[in-house]
Structure 1
């Protein structure tokens, strides 16, 4: 059947022709066609080509049979690659070993046993359970052309905005014909997927996810140094898709690694390019980053352009780990629910990919999702990673040169708001060092400055930052450290936690602990009223507001101490409150006041 085609269009050797005519190859080819074709079969977790003994047979498929199957002459199958798979007998290592020991590939698929995924999904991650638990929860819906196979970024193929409740989407997924009949403004020629569903308040689902994942996803994660939670990054998001829904070609917006778990019931096919080969795609598609997420192509497009590419079929219970800087697209084979979040493995390659992507974001003026410059600074202070010296020096020099290029002479003041994540109100770019307070407490970055403003504020003293980058040793400092969302190496945070865990001693211990809490919380949160004023549109004088806030906080602390004395009397009467409980009460109340 295929011999004539191959002899006509190629020049196989005598040995190759003998193999192609062998009964083994004929039967294997027929079996592979029954499984959906060579590309699909090759992407499965387990198949004949895993064995090194079958390299000759694999070469035949790459050189000849794939072209015959697709009826094309310009496909070089050697660019078709396979991702790495976590074998069942080695899966325990993923829970007990550091990621550097088992994440050896940029794309990894890890299949959970059926009983494990059933326990993970139970009462939470099915269409029925989600409808029961979050019936009226509103979601953003994206309408798509299910037949899209194009590199052209056409809005009619990609994005029409709708909204549904979880219950409505469950009805649509289970019985689309009845749904369309009852909701005529939805079109039958489109498919609809629920995107970026916010899980921040879905505590049961989040706890369940992290109970089932290896600890390093939450403990040894560079995103623990974020100063605020970011949806979709360190807070998981849910996606609900029906058959033929697709994710257009894109990188992670910040170049981070991504964890995606398919809760089922249907499968999803992913097409992924390693970070090392993304530049090849960029060379043939210069506007790649301008149309991210808005196009989807058959894997043949990448093979024809000689771009190494991997295809993965993600089944129910499969955890897909996509490395930093990888380019990916996906399409649903059936209906499925997915959860995803990012993590940052603090190795040189991961940090480099994030840096490269940030430069791209700056070039195309994309809005910030994560404050990468501040994150790099916080990681460098506590982890002492040498590669971050180069990146931070670049960011600092970039900021300084931009400031020096300004024609208008300004006065610089060090702001007390250095712990806040500040975003420019105009361009939504992360503010690293320099910024302006405009009227009504609007914050502008150096690119959006107003010329008639005479004062420019600094989140950090730029000379101190330069010295910090060159220092051999770095100590935690209230001027640099912040409140971090996860477990970090910040000594100030560890001291605070240690004090909270000490057994009760004499009254002097309580007093010292209280003073430490006072100093630490005031030092880290003195900018909180500035943030509230910005949100509420207040226009009071900056210096007056800051002093006034310090006075208010000190008054509140005095009040806390009076309350503590009352609690001591209460303790003497009823002997129900330990000194440790008093400390916790003070801390909890202060946080409520400051936040």
Structure 2
């Protein structure tokens, strides 16, 4: 069997050769082949190779038998690793302890009991239930070559863009032949997956996911400091895939940790590389970040290039936790439904990976999903992780150097009500400190400035930011803090609620979004203070909430009016998608009308 192959292509020692000839190895090899091969068997955390006595046997599989199985001589099986598994008797720790205590590995698989999975999926997360509850909901569809195994990233292999309703996708998943007969414009030689399906308005589904996950994923999540909800990050998205659909090789676009739940019924094969080895992969593939998500390779490619790699089969009910900065790809073994969202552990390693990814996004001019500079500033103000000090200093100095490099002298004006996330209208980069405001709410970053206006606005005072970085203690301030979508340590919002006597809303805020109301409350107080500063320099520290009962009454009346207007707009414009620029324009226009 494999003896002649090993003898011909390698030079085993006499002790190794004797062990290879043993009945124990022969029987074990045959059994592993019956289980699907060594990679699959080893990746599923079987205990056969766990003991010290079996180290020699494991070494033989890594060094010789894997090569025989793959019929190649240049695969180094010692680079095959296993992910961490949460044992059933340890699962209670996941609900009672912070993730930093039990997520010890960059790839962790947590298998839920079957009865728990049934309750998680009941009436919501099956193809039949999704079709019943959201039958006419339209989704983005990618058509792919099902047999792709290439690093060439050809567009015809990756996808063609289509749309389907959930009802149509259910028909496709259950009976492809009938589907292609009824919809001839879809190609039979492609497989189709539904991607990035927006769940923002799916209240029951989001509540169910939150209920079944440890509360620390929401309480200790650094994404609570986001200034606005971000789909796929702090709001889950759903994916639907059939057999042979694949997720091309990629990092998370912001380097964040990812939580992926397989609702079944089929399995999914994941191939994952720890963040520590991304630089090695990047050295082998210099165009890695330019073709993210558009290529898929067999695990042998990584083993041949001596890149440590992990592979795991995610079954129905498995929660896969992929650490910050990891590289991953996936391929479906059967039809399955997945929900996915991001998580930010505020440890030094995770923040470092997010920072490295942001630098590469800037270098390769890739769009950022999240305003990382603003997020880092807000986390630093309230959590004070020391690693962010140098990162923020670098971001601030970068902004200053850009301004000093400008040929024309410019007037600077502090625009401290601009705590919203601002995105450049031209290059779509995040605005951190400096920006140019053009008519009709066109906003440009320092790289895209025009000569139409001599005024450059600042979200923050540079001197204040410099002092902030050096300060030992920081208190919440209307000049620095914003309004955050999750539970945070910021005390400003709680104080404002108490002063204007606004009752906190129920948990539906995670879905229905309080962006209009919340950003208005913070922005109004800041802008009112800014307006007073222009009239009287001595009153710079006066908070508009203290202006008297009349002002408080006025604010409450306007807030109530805004809520009614927002409800009416939702009824009449339910299907209209507002751009970020339209949202900002609406908020600022309302602020000015109230101040006047």
TM-score range, shorter chain: 0.7 to 0.9
Cα distance in 2 for partners of 1:338, 1:557 equals: 51
Distance 1:78 1:197, change over 3 A: same
Per the TM alignment, residue 261 of structure 1 is displaced from its structure 2 partner at its CA by 0.5
Residue 112 of structure 2 corresponds to: 112
| 405-414 or 38-47, larger mean C-alpha shift | 38-47
Q: Which runs of 5+ in 2 are unaligned?
A: 504-516, 529-533, 536-543, 566-586, 591-596
Q: Quick check: 2:158–2:294 contact (8 Å CA) kept in 1?
A: yes
Cα distance in 1 for partners of 2:495, 2:418 equals: 21
Cα distance in 1 for partners of 2:228, 2:2 equals: 59
Distance 1:23 1:464, change over 3 A: same
Is residue 561 from structure 1 mapped to residue 553 from structure 2 by the alignment?
A: yes
SS of alignment partner, residue 365 of structure 1 = coil
Q: Quick check: 1:402–1:446 contact (8 Å CA) kept in 2?
A: yes
Cα distance in 1 for partners of 2:297, 2:413 equals: 52
Cα distance in 2 for partners of 1:586, 1:438 equals: 28
Matched residues, number = 541
SS of alignment partner, residue 218 of structure 1 = helix
Q: Quick check: 1:420–1:527 contact (8 Å CA) kept in 2?
A: no
Residue 491 of structure 1 corresponds to: 491
Residue 415 of structure 1 corresponds to: 415
The TM-score normalised by the length of structure 1 is 0.87
Q: Quick check: 2:500–2:552 contact (8 Å CA) kept in 1?
A: no
Residue 27 of structure 2 corresponds to: 27
Cα distance in 1 for partners of 2:92, 2:279 equals: 36
Residue 98 of structure 1 corresponds to: 98
Q: Quick check: 2:416–2:527 contact (8 Å CA) kept in 1?
A: no
Residue 385 of structure 2 corresponds to: 385
The one-character-per-residue Cα deviations of 1:230-257 (angstroms, maximum 9, x if unpaired) are: 0000000000000000000000000000
Residue 176 of structure 2 corresponds to: 176
Q: Quick check: 1:361–1:367 contact (8 Å CA) kept in 2?
A: yes
Residue 326 of structure 2 corresponds to: 326
The TM-score normalised by the length of structure 2 is 0.87
Per the TM alignment, residue 554 of structure 1 is displaced from its structure 2 partner at its CA by 12
Residue 509 of structure 2 corresponds to: none
Distance 1:284 1:177, change over 3 A: same
Cα distance in 2 for partners of 1:7, 1:199 equals: 57
RMSD: 2.7
Q: Which runs of 5+ in 1 are unaligned?
A: 504-517, 530-542, 545-551, 564-582
Cα distance in 1 for partners of 2:142, 2:527 equals: 37
Cα distance in 2 for partners of 1:588, 1:90 equals: 49
Residue 186 of structure 2 corresponds to: 186
The one-character-per-residue Cα deviations of 1:368-420 (angstroms, maximum 9, x if unpaired) are: 21000000000000011111110000000001101110111111000133311
Per the TM alignment, residue 364 of structure 1 is displaced from its structure 2 partner at its CA by 0.9
Q: Quick check: 2:483–2:522 contact (8 Å CA) kept in 1?
A: no
Q: How does 1:325-344 map to 2 (within 5 A)?
A: 325-344=325-344
Per the TM alignment, residue 50 of structure 1 is displaced from its structure 2 partner at its CA by 2.9
Per the TM alignment, residue 520 of structure 1 is displaced from its structure 2 partner at its CA by 10
Residue 515 of structure 1 corresponds to: none
Q: How does 1:347-358 map to 2 (within 5 A)?
A: 347-358=347-358
Cα distance in 2 for partners of 1:310, 1:83 equals: 6
Q: Quick check: 1:560–1:586 contact (8 Å CA) kept in 2?
A: no
Distance 1:562 1:423, change over 3 A: closer
Distance 1:497 1:413, change over 3 A: closer
Q: How does 1:59-458 map to 2 (within 5 A)?
A: 59-458=59-458
Distance 1:500 1:410, change over 3 A: closer
Per the TM alignment, residue 53 of structure 1 is displaced from its structure 2 partner at its CA by 2.8
Q: Quick check: 2:140–2:164 contact (8 Å CA) kept in 1?
A: yes
